[in-house]
Amino acid sequence: MKLARFHQGDAPRIGLVDEATGRVFDTDPAFDDMVALIQGGASALAGIMPKGEGFPLDAVTLEAPIPRPARNVFCVGKNYHEHAHEFAKSGFEAGAVAGAEIDTHPAVFTKPASCVVGPYADVDLHAGVTDSVDYEVELTLVIGKKGRDIRRENALEHVWGYTIVNDVTARDRQRRHKQWFLGKALDTFCPMGPWIATSDEVDPENLTIRSWVNDEPRQNANTKDLIFDIPSLIETLSAGMTLVPGDLIATGTPAGVGIGMKPPRFLKKGDVVRMSITGLGSLSNRFV
């Protein structure tokens, strides 16, 4: 199933997406909160039916599927080989050491829930705060089953579904402040969506992951190239820390971001960043 949060100027609610016909349907029973549906587990999902005639996807407003996560979005840095190398060479990685571009343990940081915006929302360039805004397309896990100290062989049982996040980054702040949080946390810096595909819909480690800036191709990779795979990320994050339904884990971005270019190419006013992952739809955000 593909589940979106949508409205038409009326109350936002959860809808079932039929990507083939480009329609979204109300559900019976109705849910207005994705996390409530996730907490209902497999039985809640099995009981959901489309209701009514539905609406064309382009006639509704899609919001982020989880517009205000209960906790920060967990993110993994440097999780594709070529991206780890382009970042180390860019001069924007504080403390980069030649020959140590690939981490032995995943680098984990977070983005605050307050920076989440919808799949087609405007993103603020924050002129005066940063002059080096960059994009990062990322496969993002949605946790469905609570757990701590989850072993890798059981990890995928805890994944409810998958969505796309643009891990928008202010590179100057990421470099200057060493800890990445300030560069990652600005308002609107986490476009998400356009829906969540439940875990039975996709093979998460064989998905084409792509991005474009103003229709110019920038990133094009496959999630099979993750350095730390999904089970190992869940094992690492849940070690001593309980993961709960609705938690989000962005798994890292492949090569092709703005800092990877010579000279770096940062986003400017009016640029439109589009991203897609197989089966998960696409994001398209104008930077203003």
> Site residues (CB under 5 A) for Mg ion?
136, 167, 253
For the chain, counts of helices (H) and of strands (E): 6, 18
Q: Residue 266 and residue 282: Cα distance in Å, rounded?
A: 21
**Cβ 22 to Mg ion, closest distance in Å?**
30
The closest of 144, 233, 136, 142 to 190, measured between CA atoms, is 136
Q: Choose between 28 and 187: whose C-beta lies nearer to Mg ion.
A: 187
**Cβ 215 to Mg ion, closest distance in Å?**
22
At 24, list the tokens: 């979204």
Q: Choose between 158 and 184: whose C-beta lies nearer to Mg ion.
A: 184
Q: What is the distance, to the nearest Å, from the Cα of residue 35 to the centroid of all Cα atoms in its chain?
A: 16
How big is the chain, counted in residues? 288
**Cβ 153 to Mg ion, closest distance in Å?**
27
Q: Choose between 2 and 167: whose C-beta lies nearer to Mg ion.
A: 167
Q: Choose between 4 and 76: whose C-beta lies nearer to Mg ion.
A: 76
Residue type, 227: I
DSSP code string of 6-68:
EESSS--EEEEEETTTTEEEEEES--S-HHHHHHTHHHHHHT-EEEEEEEEGGGSEEE-SSSS
Q: Choose between 63 and 167: whose C-beta lies nearer to Mg ion.
A: 167
**Cβ 15 to Mg ion, closest distance in Å?**
28
**Cβ 67 to Mg ion, closest distance in Å?**
20
In 3-state terms, what secondary structure has residue 89?
Answer: helix
